[in-house]
Structure 1
């Protein structure tokens, strides 16, 4: 018997012995063979270890296997991204080309006529698989799951080839390809490599391939459940099948069972249709999940697919708002890219879990997965945590290409829907993003884009009539998707954030179902300002608030904060605060999704404070929280919290006796602030009292060291927070000197801090110079992480910077900045 704990055995793309790009959405990576006692005999093997990697082209498969000791190959584990450390290199663009992986696999298929599969949860961007000298097939697309049936290739391998195991070579190619989506103009890296899990799986000759479960909650409260399945039957087996369906609730109680006998079938066939009385509903507050198991037994063996599903009903009312299970819910969302410091797209399962948990703890109930199908673990966690999802295909900034381009885009939409059909968290199938981009390939052909978007919408409806489609930013086609998001970047790429509500109201009236995806601001972690709105005061009111042309660049056009502002955390928090208070009061608003949860790498962001990093996250690329994370918590969470703004602001400045604003972000009804243990009074929270919902105090700091403490209360619960800071009153002059000093060390690394000083030795607390670190001697810089503390080139944050060194003997750290003498620190 085979047991799959997932809804499908093999997901998406290639089952062939020819070099072809196919699109059969099947999955095989979670199955088990079990004996009569239902105990595992052989399980699918996740192939995380035993790989070697080589970057760059080879002369053919003969070169791959000619010398096991070839020093061009390096041992690696999976997941692996060959852009892990170059995506944000300040000197050279990230690598675009071929990367080869090789391994040897012992084969022990327990089925006499069974099939042996290699399953890929995703690989970038075009993947070709070889068994020995046999080309198995090619999959084009970096984000959907796919499998190769290697049964015949194994049989054709010679004894000499298979000594020590079946030789498998996987070649990943992320070089530019005009026939592949997404476009190279996309504002994210098109990573290469085996950056999701690969598994070896055994199937009998006749097996379940995919099971779809559709739960429909009627307006009268009744729930109908339809179970459909498709077979994997590559050699056209004809033995009859016994199909058993079993459904359990979250407590493990059986709510439905059935058995029937069928002849093998083609396509999707409905296996069962039944009702659940008084079904427990899925929602962000109570994400209840049912479990469905479908067993298929034939002369070939038994396969079982188990998956979870949820019962919910949602509706985007025309002209708003959004309803879930008959009640209005404000969608409080963010976005996610599969990108992380030090690994790029090859995030571990634990890193994925940590990120999704942080999103949940921030109070979000919605997430847009940008701009491609993501790892199934992400969707599983969204189901479990109660995060509603807009999942999207990567038709991004690309116009409409040739027939191969269109077929791939349609294929990826098909795969995404078929592979993630059962997730109750998914409420929107995103058809694409920003297909009105200047200079996109091959052109902005409005009629062609409208026609293709219509085809994509209709395909999504045919594949899944239970969900709506969505699109962001393509104004001339805004009437085509079921739900549309315009471009509104009030206070960043255009206009003043105080004009946000007016922009929402205008855009609401232009479509039937409105949602606001993408808004926010870049912020350089650790950079703060005593006057965050200095530039905003020069921006005209009632000006446009959309992102026009290439406004993300720091050239051209009228004054805008994205180009002319200080990129401080202080300004970003005020912008978020204003947007959140506005959204909270609009009873017609469906909701929004802030861009983006975590900083990520992009080849288009070379002039950011950290080169090649989009810094709009509320956490850094390594998940370190910025101050803005707590702004969202203060609006979106119920568990009492309080956070004094400025945990990463050790020195504030101003004249002696001058008032300085202190903000507390809290969801509590009342808070009291203490300065140096003296109460500054209590204030009540009012979400519409900007900023900080009225929890703000004008404070006169003592010169030198100060301590702030807040005590907040909500429903009998008390929470506290405190920070210590220095208040500087002397005015500094022009920077003249950089000084390096060791801050801390452990057995593995040494961390060094940099401070910029004027001629009198005063720290320049608002300096934003770009500095560059270098190292001579033993050890290496811990850099190219895309974080404030992990980049050899970055702008200063309030006159400070920091870098760490992996220890290996003595060394000398150097730092340079334009117009300043270099500084050095000898480290024993």
Structure 2
């Protein structure tokens, strides 16, 4: 039996060969080696992977397996947040369902690649794979792109008493099948599972058992869970990492309440690391009048209200470095049987991209301007193309130092970037009756839209 370890440039880093005997079909053979000064898998900065080649030779026959892997360290603290390889890293994340219009969860390689390309394009540094094991290709692409992954099993909502053995099996398979993916930093054990009465409920006991299994199978990674309840409770803080699904301004309260909740929680529980595992709002690109707004269960989810949610929420999250991760719910619109909300049935509209992947909503470009290192210049509210008032505000998302506005071929003004969330606002711009060509420029970038004053 022989193993070889190669770096990303295919240089041989380690090699060993020895004779082995197989006593029975369950025999496990292990090798150990040390890599001097290893190149760390370091997220988007350097997603370096090694390759292990293991071969077995017997009677002039050879069986060979190649497996990529990476080396990294992680830590999470209540004050510094997430730490990758001893350096703080903001996990600016999106959650993702493996679900396309007309395809459901049975995606092609091309569809998986497109999804991960969009996650990479927006500049996300982390991805929460909700709420089940995803395709191995998704993990491979995350490895290559340097996107840190929260992987999880489908232990979701209230406990019926029948989940135990299946949950343990799914967690075991999840870890054993994906152990070598360097992008995975945590194993998620549950999402919004409640124990209303006591800490002796079956859901609590199962979580404790799952936690033990995860650490037995993988001593290098942490466990996590996503709660929609309080900071402490019967289910909370059993896993190594705890995060919270918070929908201030959508299901309850105001968007601004997220900041108050975070500050009060951090003050009251200074030793508990805080994270937001879900936040967001519905947005229907075919609805562009914010006066018609009847969230969260009605028929009208205008896109600009979703955008407002993310502008306010991201500013709150961005300015609180103690938050170890945050995940937009959701990267893509996804099917939800039985829903009749927001003007399109059987659909959750909280995605930053439409269900068919043809349209990136305004909020997508907002995050891209804030997260991506690529130049971004985008006029918001493009689809609100028919206007009833002559005076309007032109909102722009851009990570450029200055943006110039043009109206019907005439230069109006240039603004410097002063917003810490990459928003330019050109106020009191007067439209003429009929067509109005709004154009913005920044260095070699430009964007344009036609707004008609009725």
- The alignment of Structure 1 onto Structure 2 pairs a total of residues equal to 445
Instruction: Please give the secondary structure, in 2, of the residue aligned with 1:603.
Output: strand
Unaligned residue ranges in structure 2 (runs of 5+): none
Instruction: Please give the secondary structure, in 2, of the residue aligned with 1:360.
Output: helix
Q: Which residue number corresponds to residue 584 of structure 1?
A: 318
Cα drift, residue 354 of structure 1: 0.7
Of 144, 147, 150, 1:390 maps to: 150
Of 458, 473, 476, 2:227 maps to: 473
Cα drift, residue 298 of structure 1: 2.5
Determine the C-alpha separation between the residues in 2 that align with 1:359 and 1:501: 26
Q: Which residue number corresponds to residue 258 of structure 1?
A: 16
Per mean C-alpha deviation after superposition, the further-off stretch among 704-713 and 473-482 is 473-482
Instruction: Please give the secondary structure, in 1, of the residue aligned with 2:246.
Output: coil
Of 189, 202, 221, 1:431 maps to: 189
Structure-to-structure mapping, 1:640-659, within 5 angstroms: 640-654=375-389, 657=390, 659=391
Q: Point out the structure with max Rg over C-alpha.
A: 1
Q: Which residue number corresponds to residue 415 of structure 2?
A: 683
CA-atom RMSD in angstroms: 2.2
Q: Which residue number corresponds to residue 543 of structure 1?
A: none
Determine the C-alpha separation between the residues in 2 that align with 1:300 and 1:576: 62
Does the CA contact (< 8 Å) of 1:470 and 1:484 recur in 2?
yes
Determine the C-alpha separation between the residues in 1 that align with 2:328 and 2:37: 38
Structure-to-structure mapping, 1:328-339, within 5 angstroms: 328-339=88-99
1:486 aligns with 2:244: yes
Cα drift, residue 444 of structure 1: 9.1
Determine the C-alpha separation between the residues in 2 that align with 1:677 and 1:445: 67
Cα drift, residue 338 of structure 1: 1.2
Cα drift, residue 473 of structure 1: 1.1
Structure-to-structure mapping, 1:117-132, within 5 angstroms: none
1:458 aligns with 2:218: no
Cα drift, residue 521 of structure 1: 0.5
Q: Which residue number corresponds to residue 701 of structure 1?
A: 431
Of 33, 58, 67, 1:298 maps to: 58
Determine the C-alpha separation between the residues in 2 that align with 1:312 and 1:684: 40
Residues 582, 712 of structure 1: alpha-carbon distance in 2 compared, 3 angstrom cutoff = farther
Q: Which residue number corresponds to residue 618 of structure 1?
A: 352
Does the CA contact (< 8 Å) of 1:526 and 1:649 recur in 2?
no
Instruction: Please give the secondary structure, in 2, of the residue aligned with 1:726.
Output: strand
Determine the C-alpha separation between the residues in 2 that align with 1:437 and 1:682: 56
Instruction: Please give the secondary structure, in 2, of the residue aligned with 1:575.
Output: helix
Residues 725, 449 of structure 1: alpha-carbon distance in 2 compared, 3 angstrom cutoff = same
Determine the C-alpha separation between the residues in 2 that align with 1:600 and 1:446: 35
Residues 645, 346 of structure 1: alpha-carbon distance in 2 compared, 3 angstrom cutoff = same
Does the CA contact (< 8 Å) of 1:282 and 1:289 recur in 2?
no
**Using CA pairs below 8 Å that are at least 6 residues apart, which structure has the higher relative contact order?**
2
Does the CA contact (< 8 Å) of 1:685 and 1:695 recur in 2?
no
Determine the C-alpha separation between the residues in 2 that align with 1:259 and 1:313: 29
Residues 429, 660 of structure 1: alpha-carbon distance in 2 compared, 3 angstrom cutoff = same
Does the CA contact (< 8 Å) of 1:671 and 1:695 recur in 2?
no
Of 402, 406, 415, 1:674 maps to: 406
Cα drift, residue 680 of structure 1: 2.5
Does the CA contact (< 8 Å) of 2:122 and 2:365 recur in 1?
yes
Q: Which protein has the bigger helix share? A: 2
Instruction: Please give the secondary structure, in 2, of the residue aligned with 1:247.
Output: strand
Instruction: Please give the secondary structure, in 1, of the residue aligned with 2:52.
Output: strand
Does the CA contact (< 8 Å) of 1:674 and 1:680 recur in 2?
yes
Determine the C-alpha separation between the residues in 2 that align with 1:273 and 1:383: 23
Of 656, 660, 665, 2:392 maps to: 660
Give the TM-score normalised by the residue count of structure 2: 0.92
Q: Which residue number corresponds to residue 56 of structure 1?
A: none
Determine the C-alpha separation between the residues in 2 that align with 1:674 and 1:444: 63
Instruction: Please give the secondary structure, in 1, of the residue aligned with 2:45.
Output: coil
Instruction: Please give the secondary structure, in 2, of the residue aligned with 1:458.
Output: helix
Q: Which residue number corresponds to residue 76 of structure 2?
A: 316
Unaligned residue ranges in structure 1 (runs of 5+): 1-242, 536-559, 729-828
Structure-to-structure mapping, 1:392-791, within 5 angstroms: 392-402=152-162, 405-436=163-194, 447-473=201-227, 475=229, 476=233, 477-508=235-266, 509-510=268-269, 512-529=272-289, 531=290, 561-563=295-297, 566-624=300-358, 625-654=360-389, 657=390, 659-688=391-420, 693-713=423-443, 718-728=444-454
Determine the C-alpha separation between the residues in 2 that align with 1:527 and 1:702: 24
Residues 482, 280 of structure 1: alpha-carbon distance in 2 compared, 3 angstrom cutoff = closer
Measured against aligned partners, the alpha-carbon deviations of 1:588-613 in whole angstroms (never above 9, x if no partner) come to 22120000111111114133421100
Determine the C-alpha separation between the residues in 1 that align with 2:72 and 2:31: 22
Instruction: Please give the secondary structure, in 2, of the residue aligned with 1:279.
Output: coil
Cα drift, residue 314 of structure 1: 1.3
Structure-to-structure mapping, 1:139-288, within 5 angstroms: 243-264=1-22, 266=26, 268-288=28-48
Cα drift, residue 328 of structure 1: 1.2
Per mean C-alpha deviation after superposition, the further-off stretch among 359-368 and 278-287 is 278-287
Cα drift, residue 390 of structure 1: 0.4
Residues 446, 710 of structure 1: alpha-carbon distance in 2 compared, 3 angstrom cutoff = farther
Does the CA contact (< 8 Å) of 2:297 and 2:342 recur in 1?
no
Instruction: Please give the secondary structure, in 2, of the residue aligned with 1:707.
Output: strand
Cα drift, residue 660 of structure 1: 1.3
Does the CA contact (< 8 Å) of 1:494 and 1:561 recur in 2?
no
Instruction: Please give the secondary structure, in 2, of the residue aligned with 1:291.
Output: strand
